[in-house]
Amino acid sequence: MIHPTAIIDPGAEIDSNVEIGPFSIVHRNVSIGSGTFIGPHVTIDPYVEIAPNCQIFQYASIGAAPQAVKFKGEKTYLKIGRNTVIREFATLNRGTEFGGGVTEVGEDNFLMAYTHVAHDCKTGKGVIMANNATLAGHITIGDHVIIGGLVAIHQFVRIGEYAYIGGKSAVVKDIPPYVMAAGDRATLHGLNKVGLQRHGFSTNTLSQLKKAYRTIFRIGLTVNEAVDRVLAEVENIPEVLTLVNFIKSTERGITR
């Protein structure tokens, strides 16, 4: 059902099983999948793709032009994965040509009120951003990451899968997978043990990750020395290799 006060461009592709509330605006070159709910006073700008079964609450701004001084109006995109919830006053911007052209929000994300996803960001599956969490441009967030309220993340930072970032943190370097981080500037506070247990990680996996974490971050080795020791002394299960490869591929440096 589309409310009669909503303004829908004829060039928008909207499934018949979509609800759009009063005074919302949907521009051309927008596609909205079945089962999606759009609340009142939502603006969806051109070149936005919304997958099925999403919920977008009042006053959200979806697909506005990126806040980037080098952006010159080129055709870029925002893609939102299925089952994602976007709460009040959230702002999600399209990509930039120089940054790859696409901002991608993954499946099953929960973006709370006043969150911001800037140009060319990519979030994985099951990401939660609490109120006022902010992503600068070109950030990559892994699967099942939780970002606390009032967190600010610097551009080009990567957050590894299953990481937890505590509220009011300022993140300027990469956060490895499976860990907890908090503070200004953010530092590590051990494994995200509770989160990993909730996601069904085995006792052995937690044990090997704990050994790897201690070797890399707690005994004073350089990063290269620590990685070599982990590969030699810790069982090389997939999760440990994910942690090691993430650290080896950093460009901004690793939070410690």
Residue 65 is given by DSSP the state P
Alpha-carbon distance 36 to 17, whole Å?
Answer: 7
Ranges of H-type helices in 44-89 = none
Tell me whether the omega of the peptide bond preceding residue 87 falls within 30 degrees of 0, making it cis.
no
Among this protein's residues, is 148 annotated catalytic? no
Cβ atoms of 164 and 240 within 8 Å: the answer is no
Q: Which helix (H) or strand (E) segment is 159 a member of?
A: strand 158-159
Q: Where are the beta strands (DSSP E) in 51-136?
A: 55-56, 61-64, 77-80, 85-86, 91-93, 102-105, 110-111, 116-117, 122-123, 128-129, 134-135
Judged by DSSP in three states, 54 sits in coil
Catalytic, out of 21, 33, 124, 137: 137
Alpha-carbon distance 165 to 224, whole Å?
Answer: 25
Q: Which long-range contacts (CB under 8 A, 24 or more apart) does 143-148 make?
A: 143/106, 144/195, 144/199, 146/195, 148/182
**CA 131, chain centre distance (Å):** 14
Q: Can you give the length of the chain in residues?
A: 256
Among this protein's residues, is 228 annotated catalytic? no
Catalytic, out of 81, 99, 106, 119: 119
Cα angle: 178, vertex 143, 36; to 5 degrees:
150
Among this protein's residues, is 137 annotated catalytic? yes
- Residues annotated as part of the active site: 119-120, 137
